[in-house]
Amino acid sequence: MEENTNTTPSNFIRDIIEDDLKTGKHAKIHTRFPPEPNGYLHIGHAKSICLNFGIARDYKGQCNLRFDDTNPTKEDVEYVDSIQEDVKWLGFDWEDRMYYASDYFQKLYDFAVKMIKEGVAYVDNSTAEEMKNQKGTPTEPGTNSPCRERSIEESLDLFERMKNGEFEEGAYTLRAKIDMASPNMHMRDPLIYRIKKATHHNTGDEWCIYPMYDYAHPLSDWFEGITHSLCTLEFEIHRPLYDWFLDVLHLENRPRQIEFARLNLTYTVMSKRKLLELVTEKYVSGWDDPRMPTICGLRRRGYTPESIRNFADKIGVAKRDAMTDVALLEHGIREDLNKRAPRVMAVLNPLKVVITNYPDDLTEEMETINNPEDPSMGSRKIPFCKEIYIEQDDFREDPPKKFHRLYPGSEVRLKSAYIIKCNEVIKNDKGEITELHCTYDPETKSGGSSTRSVKGTIHWVSARHGKKAEVRLYDRLFVIEDPSSHEELSFKELLNPHSLDINENCFIEPELAKAKAGDKFQFMRMGYFCVDPLSTDEKLVFNRTVGLRDSWAKLEKKDS
RNA sequence: UCUCGAGUCGUCUAAUGGCAGGACAGCGGCCUCUGAAGCCGUACGUGGAGGUUCGACUCCUCCCUCGAGAACCA
């Protein structure tokens, strides 16, 4: 991590931690980030990662990476690998503390035996259906299982035989003996272990019984000496159970579970199930499709780790459900890239301009600064000649009010080159504009002594030197702010049909052909773009990370 | 319906009995060889009703609204 530039704002969790440090409840803070390896990490996980690792960093503690892998049927090493990559990319380091809940299967088993011996857990052979009926409803108490009073000896024997694989899946479970009348459904004798004859990504076929989350989690935290176990709000109702396991096992130096609101972002979905559906049903190209809110998607889109960490700091941490405006994320990446991205010129929708009074065979090398925000980034040369491309949008045959760009008879400055004047509009026989004939003013070369100024400055690329490229313009994935909460339509019916617009005939300045995968640029007046990982020398592909703020577009929209 | 949790500018978030503040978004202006960036300015909020108090976003009561909870998921 970078040196002591801790500007992370405080929040209620940090308040608790500072208090625990002050009162001496803990001498050292220990947190953990506990993903289940059943999907790719998304921006919501990034919030949790920044919270947990950020706290460890700021209070000189430690944060573990722990895979919460207690359900072999859903988990896979593909996810284990991607999660590590994403956490590292975000800039955090778990050092030698990468664990699996499955590392603790033996200890977990031993503690379960202890619970049976203490009479607080029993083996049940009720079917799933019977158990559901015993459970009751939120308004009606449940009823005790007929197995609830099974003797300790018998439960011990059955539990061991469960472990030994003597029974079929579903035949037996281990349950906690708590209170079938509790108003909290999670306390109505919840399951501790179930039989699953599945191969586990980490432990293989060593086990055929697997602990449930509610049991594995508090104990895993305790094994690792976690002091503050941070999780999202939906686990709030599980907290009494979290504490119960620690209680009945008489464990000292207990971790404390604290819940905070998960991140929701406008115009996207955040549930792993929904993201998985988008991937498997091919609504997007993969987990790393740049429209996805996944960490790998954002990375491919051109987001930087700094901008995401910054975003996490800015949104804060609280207990109330919230829906954060994606504009805040976008602001963060613009802010970061504004400082770091070199400015280059690229024409996305080319319109040819012939400068009729410019020498036929001349090429001038125009000097241009790489980033006005950072002079240390230097300058470069770009070729200029008689034939150039400009953006179609920068010309209007019939200009609206306040249009500062090219139209018949008007003058604009070509960035870092000359002022040109539009004299003639050339059309084909269908009446489409194919070319503009302009003249330039040789006295107005950039950096020269001329003080003549015009209202508009536009970007351009030499038609003889520019290289072709494909540019992918991304927009929000969904058409409404909260696609998960529409009364009638499913989220998949609310996808934005224009979320990807591929532009294959773009021209970029020649220098840009050397760019490498992941390189980031500002295409002047257009937005921030990065080289796609699958881009090749033969076919250059750029992804638009985010557009520039466009007050002209806003003005024009308002006037229409 | 029951239990638990949460309600502060449009959005996110501070203020922990003592001036309701910041960020994003918005609006207006300045500047500009990027209609970008930057700079300046501006508007906007404590869910409601009572109560306690010199003083309430904060404490109490009732109400309202929203979220979570009945997987051998996490």
**pLDDT tens string A135-177:** 999 999 999 999 999 999 999 999 999 999 999 999 999 999 9
Reply yes or no on whether the pLDDT at A3 is more than 80: no
| In A136-258, alpha helices (H) | 152-163, 213-223, 239-248
Which helix (H) or strand (E) segment holds residue A296: the answer is helix A295-301
Residue A319 φ/ψ region, left for φ over 0, alpha for ψ in the -120 to 50 degree band, beta for the rest? alpha
Confidence of residue A488 (pLDDT cuts 50, 70, 90): confident
Q: Which of A556, A524, A528 is nearest to A542 (CA)?
A: A528
Q: Is A431 helix (H, G, I), strand (E, B) or coil?
A: coil
User: How many angstroms is C1' of B31 away from CA of A455?
Assistant: 13
Tell me the domain boundaries of chain A.
Answer: 12-260, 272-342+469-559, 346-459
Q: Which residue is nearest to nucleotide B35 (CA to C1')?
A: A552
Rg for chain A (alpha carbons), in Å?
31
CA distance A112 to A126: 19
Provide φ and ψ at A117, rounded to 5°.
Answer: -60, -30
**Size of chain A, expressed as the number of residues it contains:** 560
User: How many angstroms is C1' of B74 away from CA of A486?
Assistant: 25
> Do the beta carbons of residue A87 and residue A203 sit within 8 Å?
no
Identify nearest nucleotide to residue A196 by CA to C1′ distance.
B72
Residue A94 CB contacts under 8 Å (≥ 6 apart), including other chains: A33, A63, A64, A65, A87
Unique residue bearing structure tokens 């002047």: A524
CA distance A471 to A505: 8
Q: What percent of chain A has pLDDT over 70?
A: 99
- Residue A503, strand partner residues: A471
Confidence of residue A516 (pLDDT cuts 50, 70, 90): very high
Residue A71 φ/ψ region, left for φ over 0, alpha for ψ in the -120 to 50 degree band, beta for the rest? beta
C-alpha dihedral, A269 to A274 to A275 to A278, nearest 10°: -110
Kindly report the CATH number that applies to the domain delimited by A272-342+469-559. Answer: 2.40.240.10
Q: Which of A142, A141, A159 is nearest to A150 (CA)?
A: A159
Confidence of residue A85 (pLDDT cuts 50, 70, 90): very high
Q: Which of A357, A352, A471 is nearest to A420 (CA)?
A: A357
Unique residue bearing structure tokens 């191969």: A199
Identify nearest nucleotide to residue A402 by CA to C1′ distance.
B35
Which helix (H) or strand (E) segment holds residue A256: the answer is strand A256-260
Domain A346-459 has CATH 3.60.9.10: no
**DSSP single-letter state for residue A236:** G
Identify nearest nucleotide to residue A328 by CA to C1′ distance.
B24
CA distance A217 to A101: 8
Mean pLDDT, residues A229-242 = 97
CB atoms closer than 10 angstroms to residue A398:
7
Told to judge if A445 belongs to the known catalytic residues of this protein, a careful annotator would answer no
Told to judge if A492 belongs to the known catalytic residues of this protein, a careful annotator would answer no
> Do the beta carbons of residue A395 and residue A414 sit within 8 Å?
no
User: In terms of pLDDT, which residue wins out, A213 or A6?
Assistant: A213
Looking at A14, A36, A130, A277, which residue is catalytic? Answer: A36
User: How many angstroms is C1' of B37 away from CA of A523?
Assistant: 14
pLDDT given for residue A487 in this prediction: 83
Q: Which of A43, A18, A483 is nearest to A303 (CA)?
A: A43
> Do the beta carbons of residue A259 and residue A232 sit within 8 Å?
yes
pLDDT given for residue A486 in this prediction: 87
Instruction: Assess whether the region A272-342+469-559 and the region A346-459 belong to the same CATH fold.
Output: yes
Told to judge if A415 belongs to the known catalytic residues of this protein, a careful annotator would answer no
Q: Cα–Cα distances in Å, from A127 out to A4, A131, A134, A152, A195?
A: 57, 6, 10, 21, 12
CA distance A431 to A36: 60
Q: Which homologous superfamily is A12-260 in?
A: HUPs (3.40.50.620)
CA distance A461 to A353: 10
Mean pLDDT of chain A: 96
User: How many angstroms is C1' of B56 away from CA of A320?
Assistant: 22
Specify the amino acid at residue A429: D
Looking at A239, A272, A334, A405, which residue is catalytic? Answer: A272
pTM above threshold 0.90: yes
CB atoms closer than 10 angstroms to residue A214:
19
pLDDT given for residue A5 in this prediction: 41
Q: Cα–Cα distances in Å, from A98 out to A66, A69, A232, A491?
A: 6, 13, 21, 35
Reply yes or no on whether the pLDDT at A2 is more than 80: no
- Burial of A538 per CB tally in 10 Å (0-12, 13-18, 19+): exposed
pLDDT given for residue A270 in this prediction: 96
pLDDT given for residue A484 in this prediction: 92
CA distance A475 to A543: 11
Confidence of residue A6 (pLDDT cuts 50, 70, 90): low
pLDDT given for residue A80 in this prediction: 97
- Residue A200, strand partner residues: A204
pLDDT given for residue A9 in this prediction: 85
Looking at A262, A274, A352, A380, which residue is catalytic? Answer: A262
Provide φ and ψ at A254, rounded to 5°.
Answer: -80, 145
Q: Is A150 helix (H, G, I), strand (E, B) or coil?
A: coil
User: How many angstroms is C1' of B59 away from CA of A89?
Assistant: 46
Tokens of A212: 């449930």
pLDDT given for residue A1 in this prediction: 31
Q: Which of A173, A182, A110, A185 is nearest to A147 (CA)?
A: A173
B strand bases under 7 Å from protein CB = 1-8, 10-16, 22-27, 33-38, 66-74
What sign for the dihedral angle of Cα A36, A42, A47, A50? positive
